[in-house]
């Protein structure tokens, strides 16, 4: 009799079908929230500028504007994951923090910057100059570029987006999509290309370590290099490594070594994805 009751009760409890995530609707909804956040940030930034009598964005207003863009978007997509029963997908990974892997990532990021520099030189730099002027220098700029941006962007792209796409379509798709969106969000063509390449490297490190702290450190170091370059050369974004190294043979040695490191890193990335059983 007890077994019959158990069987009867079991039949009364329907199995819950796991909701697929992310769907195209989830993507469009998240993009909509991001656009709404950008518009809200723009409105509040203009209001703050008028209250302070500023003619352009100041570094502190830029910092507030950035937070208004990112925080609602992150909160919304995390909420979508939790509603789908997937959890937050934010893995800080303090115990999985590997300093050799972090150092490897820093070296590859620097090498990739040297390799793609000639390609970036084909694009106009006026828009990038405007971004540099908006960010500015000083404490607020450091807080925005070296602290807030690495933390929030890695939570969103290597954390939530990478994990969500990898769970549904495989780690290769997760890595490409997260890097692509990471590039697109920077808008300016020069930054889009650079951010996409850096996103691939960060995705590889995250795939190997499952530690957001690892990629946050690499991301912060990359932004610190850009900040220091801007501090030394001002708005002269057209200053290249070729300009800084007048000797041809030394430049080509550095470029050749960087190309070797970058190519080796891409080969390791492709090999990792190819050998991943989850992709089969």
Residue range 183-242, pLDDT digits in tens? 999 888 888 999 999 999 999 999 989 999 999 999 999 999 888 887 776 655 566 777
Residue 11 pLDDT greater than 70, yes or no: no
Q: How far apart are CA 230 and CA 224, in angstroms?
A: 10
Q: How far apart are CA 142 and CA 172, in angstroms?
A: 33
Q: Measured at the alpha carbon of residue 24, what is the angle toward residues 22 and 26, in degrees to the nearest 5?
A: 55
pLDDT digit string, tens, across residues 131-164 = 666 676 788 889 999 999 999 999 999 999 999 9
Distance of CA 14 to the CA centre of its chain: 40
Q: Measured at the alpha carbon of residue 67, what is the angle toward residues 35 and 217, in degrees to the nearest 5?
A: 115
Q: How far apart are CA 263 and CA 256, in angstroms?
A: 10
In the chain, where the domains are located: 17-88, 89-280
Asked if residues 273 and 172 have their Cβ atoms less than 8 Å apart, the reply is yes
What's the pLDDT score for residue 136?
A: 67
Q: Looking at the chain, how many residues does it have?
A: 280
Report how far apart the first and last C-alpha atoms of the chain are (Å, whole number). 47
Cβ atoms within 10 Å, residue 120: 18
Q: How far apart are CA 245 and CA 1, in angstroms?
A: 87
Q: Mean of the pLDDT values across residues 41-70? A: 86
pLDDT, the chain, mean: 84
Asked if residues 81 and 88 have their Cβ atoms less than 8 Å apart, the reply is yes
Asked if residues 221 and 103 have their Cβ atoms less than 8 Å apart, the reply is no
Residue with tokens 């470029």: 255
Distance of CA 146 to the CA centre of its chain: 13
How much is the pTM?
0.85
For residue 267, CA distances in Å to 100, 219, 224 come to: 19, 21, 27
């Amino acid at each position: 009799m007890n077994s019959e009751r158990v069987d009867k009760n079991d039949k009364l409890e329907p199995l819950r079908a796991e909701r697929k995530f992310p769907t195209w609707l989830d993507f469009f909804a998240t993009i909509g929230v991001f656009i709404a956040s950008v518009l809200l940030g723009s409105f509040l930034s203009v209001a703050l500028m008028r209250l302070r009598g500023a003619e352009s964005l100041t570094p502190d207003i830029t910092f507030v504007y950035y937070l208004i863009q990112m925080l609602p978007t992150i909160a919304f997509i995390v909420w979508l994951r939790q509603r789908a029963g997937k959890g937050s997908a934010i893995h800080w990974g303090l115990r999985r923090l590997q300093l050799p892997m972090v150092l490897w990532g820093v070296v590859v990021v620097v090498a990739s910057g040297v390799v793609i520099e000639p390609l970036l030189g084909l694009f106009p730099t006026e828009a990038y100059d405007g971004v540099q002027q908006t960010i500015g220098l000083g404490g607020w700029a450091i807080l925005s570029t070296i602290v807030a941006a690495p933390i929030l962007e890695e939570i969103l792209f290597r954390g939530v987006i990478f994990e969500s796409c990898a769970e549904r379509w495989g780690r290769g798709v997760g890595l490409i999509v997260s890097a692509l969106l990471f590039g697109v969000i920077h808008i300016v063509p020069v930054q889009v290309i650079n951010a996409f390449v850096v996103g691939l490297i960060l995705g590889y490190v995250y795939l190997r370590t499952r530690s957001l702290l690892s990629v946050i450190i690499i991301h912060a170091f990359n932004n610190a290099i850009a900040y220091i370059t801007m501090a030394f050369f001002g708005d002269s974004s057209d200053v290249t490594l070729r300009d800084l190294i007048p000797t041809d043979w030394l430049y080509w040695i550095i470029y050749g070594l960087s190309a070797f490191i970058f190519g080796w890193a891409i080969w390791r990335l492709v090999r990792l994805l190819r050998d991943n059983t989850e992709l089969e």
